[in-house]
A and B are shown apart, each in its own frame.
Chain A
């Protein structure tokens, strides 16, 4: 008895999808500019369906023609995708595209992870974020001010808060390019599930924390 062969998925199979003509250009631009793509992002919703449906074919396409790996991750049940250069020197895009995150970005990203992804708090503006920091995350707030405004002791002024706000705003703008947050005209800032990528980048350090470090006030 003969089995009919399963339809093979190839690098260009996704061109047969009827939505490719409409949405592929935007999807490709988004992924190849380093954005993380997810369903909850209001501007990516349209092409997320195409990406999710054709993920196998697109994975082959980016690997073969660009030397990039299409990665899929999940945070609280929500999927997100991103591209990263393939390991072993197969990458066909300039190596200068790899950028190191700045220390301030790392701190702000992890702080947002704690507030939004772990504690399920929402904030739509910097005012709301700083109000939450003041009322419920004071130990973190003090550390943030010491790191970003170089504040020593308790002599805090309005100028210090302005300085920290500038750092946070700059970090949010950077995260917006990565698709980790988005800004909506009437609703303000919204943190996306892909912000969890920062925790993946520091996975080893985080897992070893229990044995390496006991905070004075957790």
Chain B
């Protein structure tokens, strides 16, 4: 199961630190494929079953890097299980069975949807029409803060699916370069048809994006009426998203336009094709040669070519040391700026205060979970926004980070993340947060 780099990078950007690295993601996809698809998301499985699937996942990725081979198989499995338990698996201490967290299930569905989503320009056109209609009915801040965020993921998924189609076609083309000439020509005919189809899709997507340009024009006209900084910020982000998405589509279309003539040229230039093919054979021949001692060596029947590379330096300009005598220069004294020092101290004080506040909120959460079996994190986040003013964003991010990295693994809490955005705001901030619920483990 090979992950497409473009799709992976986009997910890393969207999910930040909560997105697993490639090997963990691969293991998780295997687990969910094996268990959740067959038995539903609430399925439970034993450690032996878990190890079996992880072994298969490892076989599926034999070349993920040299460093991993220092582990024994048992150490490798323990390491993977430990990493998965951070956010994606939970273990029932009583029965010893494992199950998936809500976060893992939602991430899996999102990844699968992106990987196997088919390009559908009609769907993109429909999304843009919905956005345009909503902009006519609702206020611009509502459109930029609520309507667009709820649909932009689908637009991006379509663009990623389009990009993935181009990538897989190009990979197929590269693989076919190694075939015999007759097979290659048959395959090339098929690839040319796929590329023509992709070009039609690119055109249809470009047509769909023309509505986006109308929307941008409407936004530009309406934006002048807004005075609130937070709302203007949300609108700017919406415009930036539309521009970014348009740029991505443009880049993919350009790549397609670069490749199509190349494929057509291949038909007419079989001499070049043979030469390329023989170059690959030649490279394999060189790489197959046995090294002689500690030196790199070519096969005995291959000589080394000569290139013309003369030393051609201008030496006319004398160095300063030949003109001026060497003089010792005193090292400069450090300049002590009292104003700067005071500012630095203030920054340090603010950081200490913030750390204390973060600790206090984490204690509040722990107390909340002692008193209740399950708590809604969003309520605590609202309280942070209400009391912390402009520092609320920084404090909230630190609380979430420490909660997931330290508190959840330490206390064995379960985290259920539902991708339902909830709007939180105070006098200076406005942000959307997914619904997060924390549950303490059942006592034995």
Contact = CB atoms under 8 A, between A and B. Distances in A.
Given A83-B308, A101-B305, A158-B66, A202 B177 contact: no
Contacts of A160: 66
Nearest to B174: A119
A34 B277 CA distance: 29
Interface string B291-319: 10011111000101111111110000000
A34 B306 CA distance: 12
Interface string A96-121: 01111111101100110110001110
A111 B279 CA distance: 9
Contacts of B289: 147
Contacts of B310: 32-34, 93-94, 97
A197 B284 CA distance: 19
B306 A98 contact: yes
A97 B309 CA distance: 5
A218 B284 contact: yes
B282 A146 contact: no
A209 B287 contact: no
B312 A107 contact: no
A172 interface: no
A106 B304 contact: yes
Given A29-B312, A106-B286, A99 B296 contact: no
A207 interface: yes
Interface in B82-136: none
Contact of A215 (B281, B294, B298, B307): B281
A110 B282 contact: yes
B307 A98 contact: yes
A206 to B, nearest CB: 5
B174 A136 contact: yes
Interface residues of A, number: 66
Contacts of A202: 282, 302, 305
A85 B309 CA distance: 11
Contacts, number: 155
Contacts of B281: 209-210, 213-215, 218
Interface residues of B, number: 48
A118 B177 contact: yes
B282 to A, nearest CB: 5
Interface string A131-167: 0001110111011101110100011111011000001
A52 interface: no
A82 B294 CA distance: 34
Interface string B139-175: 0000000000000000000000000000000110010
Given A85-B308, A93-B310, A134 B65 contact: yes
A210 B274 CA distance: 9
B285 A99 contact: no
A205 B282 contact: yes
Contacts of A177: 309
A77 B178 CA distance: 23
Contacts of A100: 304-306
A82 B2 CA distance: 42
B128 to A, nearest CB: 31
A3 interface: no
A142 B66 CA distance: 12
A158 B178 contact: no
B287 A144 contact: yes
Contact of A136 (B171, B283, B287, B302): B171
A143 B275 CA distance: 21
Interface string A190-218: 00000001110110011101100111111
A120 B280 CA distance: 14
Contacts of B65: 134
Contact of B283 (A114, A161, A207): A114
Nearest to B64: A134
Interface string A73-95: 00000000011110000000110
A94 B294 CA distance: 32
Given A34-B310, A215-B281, A103 B298 contact: yes
A199 B291 contact: no
A63 to B, nearest CB: 14
B211 interface: no
Contact of B278 (A34, A82, A206): A206
A58 interface: no
A90 to B, nearest CB: 14
B442 to A, nearest CB: 44
A199 B274 CA distance: 13
B332 interface: no
A209 B282 contact: yes
B40 interface: no
Interface of B: 2, 63-67, 69-70, 170-171, 174, 177-178, 258-259, 262, 274-289, 291, 294-298, 302, 304-312
28 contacts: A98-B309, A99-B308, A100-B306, A101-B305, A103-B295, A104-B296, A106-B298, A106-B304, A106-B305, A107-B283, A107-B298, A110-B283, A113-B283, A134-B63, A138-B63, A143-B288, A147-B287, A147-B296, A158-B66, A177-B309, A206-B275, A206-B278, A209-B285, A210-B277, A210-B278, A213-B282, A215-B285, A218-B178
Given A101-B307, A134-B64, A147-B296, 15 more contacts: A100-B306, A101-B305, A107-B283, A107-B287, A110-B283, A111-B283, A118-B279, A142-B287, A147-B287, A147-B289, A156-B69, A157-B70, A207-B275, A207-B278, A215-B288
